[in-house]
A and B are shown apart, each in its own frame.
Chain A
Amino acid sequence: MEPIIVLWANVRAEWVKLRSVRSTLWALAITIGITVGLSALFCSTRVARWDRMGRGAQLIFEPIGFSLNGMFLSQLAIGVLGVLVMTSEYGTGQIRATFAATPTRGTVLLAKMKVFFLASLVVGEISSFAAFFLGQAILSSKSSASITDPGALRAVLGGGLYLAGIGVFGLGLGVILRRTAGAIAVLVASVMILPQLVELLPSPWNDDISKYLPSPAGQTLFHITSARPSLSTGVGLLVFLAYPLGACLLGWALLRTRDA
Chain B
Amino acid sequence: MIETTELTKRYGDKLAVDHLTMSIPSGQVTGFLGPNGAGKSTTMRMILDLDSPTSGSAKVNGRRYRDIRFPLHEVGSLLEAKSVHPARTARGHLQWLADSNRIPRKRVDEVLELVGLSAVAKKRAGGFSLGMGQRLGIAAAMLGDPQTLLLDEPVNGLDPEGIVWVRSFLRSLAAEGRTVLVSSHLMSEMALTADHLIVIGAGRLISQGSVADVVAGSSSSHVLVRTPDVSRLMAVLTAEGAEVSTDVDHALRIRKVSIERIGQLAADNAVILHELSPQAASLEQAFMELTHDSGEYQTELKPPPPPSTTSDGGSN
Contacts and interface: CB of A to CB of B under 8 A. Distances in A.
B95 A16 contact: yes
Interface in A1-56: 2, 5-6, 9-10, 12-14, 16-17, 20-23
B172 interface: no
A100 interface: yes
A102 interface: yes
A120 to B, nearest CB: 19
Nearest to A111: B100
B61 interface: no
Given A92-B85, A259-B45, A102 B68 contact: no
A16 B81 contact: no
Contacts of B50: 96, 99-100, 259-260
B96 A17 contact: yes
A104 B71 CA distance: 11
Contacts of B65: 103
Contacts of B51: 259-260
Contacts of A182: none
A102 B45 contact: no
B99 interface: yes
Interface stretch (B86-94, B177-185, B188-196, B279-287): B86-94
A208 B148 CA distance: 60
Contacts of B68: 103
B140 interface: yes
B132 interface: no
Interface string A80-111: 00000000110011111111111110000000
A5 B88 CA distance: 26
A97 B100 CA distance: 11
A101 B72 contact: yes
Given A12-B99, A16-B99, A259-B50, A97 B92 contact: no
B88 A101 contact: no
Contacts of A89: 85
A6 B69 CA distance: 7
A232 interface: no
Nearest to A13: B100
Instruction: Tell me what chain B mostly uses at the interface: helix, strand, loop, or mixed.
Output: loop
B101 interface: yes
A12 B83 CA distance: 19
Nearest to A18: B96
B100 A10 contact: yes
Given A2-B69, A97-B140, A259-B50, A13 B96 contact: yes
Contacts of A21: 85, 87-88, 92
Nearest to B89: A20
A89 B100 CA distance: 15
Given A9-B99, A20-B96, A100 B48 contact: yes
Given A22-B87, A259-B50, A92 B82 contact: yes
Given A20-B92, A93-B83, A257-B52, A103 B66 contact: yes
A16 B92 contact: yes
Chain B interface size band reads: 20 to 34
A23 B126 CA distance: 14
Interface in B178-217: none
Interface string B256-292: 0000000000000000000000000000000000000
Chain A interface size band reads: 20 to 34
A259 B82 CA distance: 17
Contacts of B89: 20
Interface string B218-252: 00000000000000000000000000000000000
A98 B99 CA distance: 11
B77 interface: yes
A255 B181 CA distance: 27
B70 A9 contact: yes
B97 interface: yes
B173 interface: no
A259 B52 contact: yes
Most chain A beta-carbon contacts within 10 A, residue among B65, B66, B82, B99:
B99
Contacts of A23: 87
Contact of A9 (B49, B86, B100): B100
A31 B66 CA distance: 38
Most chain A beta-carbon contacts within 10 A, residue among B48, B71, B72, B83:
B83
A101 B97 contact: yes
A95 B82 CA distance: 10
A2 to B, nearest CB: 6
Contacts of A260: 45, 50-51
B67 to A, nearest CB: 8
Interface in B88-115: 88-89, 92, 95-97, 99-102
B101 A97 contact: no
Interface string B46-64: 0011111000000000000
A88 to B, nearest CB: 6
Contact of A104 (B66, B85, B88): B66
7 contacts: A5-B69, A5-B102, A92-B86, A95-B83, A96-B50, A100-B79, A101-B72
Interface of A: 2, 5-6, 9-10, 12-14, 16-17, 20-23, 88-89, 92-104, 257, 259-260
Interface of B: 45, 48-52, 65-66, 68-72, 77, 79, 81-89, 92, 95-97, 99-102, 140
